[in-house]
Amino acid sequence: MALAALRAGKHVWVEKPLALSAVEGRELVDAAAAGRRTLFVDETFLYDPLVREMKRIIDEGALGEIMHLSFERLGMGRIRRDSNVWWNSAPHDLSILLYLVPRKVARVQLHYHTYLQPGVADMAVCDLELEGGTSAHVYLSWLHPEKTAKVIVVGRKRMLGYEGRFEKRAITLYDYAIDPGDTGANAGAAPIIPITNFTARPLELPAGDEPLALAAAHFVECVQTGAEPVSSGARSLRVVEVLEAADRAATQGGRTG
């Protein structure tokens, strides 16, 4: 439907993910470019003002070198029959990952767990490595007693935490210091590296407008000005490429019944 609309000369808003294969995604991106149309993907979290603030903090270097990011999207409810938890939920986290740290994914390893429906994974664990050595971990589950949508960014200087549930959105900055001491041949016998400081500072920021409303306004602006959306088809194609590459090589676990 998106391809038909683009070929008819329409600007297009597409639900995430952009497509179910990289080949189809590229076809959409090429059609939008050929017709000079806006191809917008509804990666709503990219329009949360708190995610934008996380991006600002990371880009200004306040966290130092980014070492690791972890993502948890867990809870009961919205258990799909027509797609697994990876294709249904991971587009949110992968879009945030590639927005906060826009580097190429060098390696990805995905493991599925299937407990509720034959052949439909309801839990997924994924490890990724980005160019430059930054790592990421994604944990997704439709079988979890507590609902959460968390992101943790671990830097050399500080850490940053984000809770993305729309009714409880918040970000927290963590200051920490570690004293490795002498790690050479003359290192002491103490088996523990001391943590000399660890403090949490909730950042008092207004949540702002609803992210979906901000996304819609950005779509209209891009249609009017010709600017590339933050969640353009070309940018979102990277998400589909990671989804597909991980899915193709995924290992399987769990059992139904």
pLDDT at residue 184, rounded to an integer: 59
Print the domain residue range for 164: 2-253
pLDDT at residue 138, rounded to an integer: 98
Total residue count of the chain as it appears in this document = 257
| Contact call for residues 230 and 42 (beta carbons, < 8 A) | no
| Contact call for residues 197 and 175 (beta carbons, < 8 A) | yes
Rounded-to-integer distance, Cα 52 and Cα 49, Å: 5
pLDDT at residue 253, rounded to an integer: 87
Mean pLDDT for each 10-residue chunk of the chain (257 residues)?
A: 96 96 97 97 95 96 97 89 93 97 96 92 96 97 93 97 86 90 61 85 81 95 96 97 95 78
Domain count, the chain: 1
β-bridge pairing 66-74 and 105-113:
unpaired
pLDDT at residue 55, rounded to an integer: 97
178: domain CATH number is 3.30.360.10
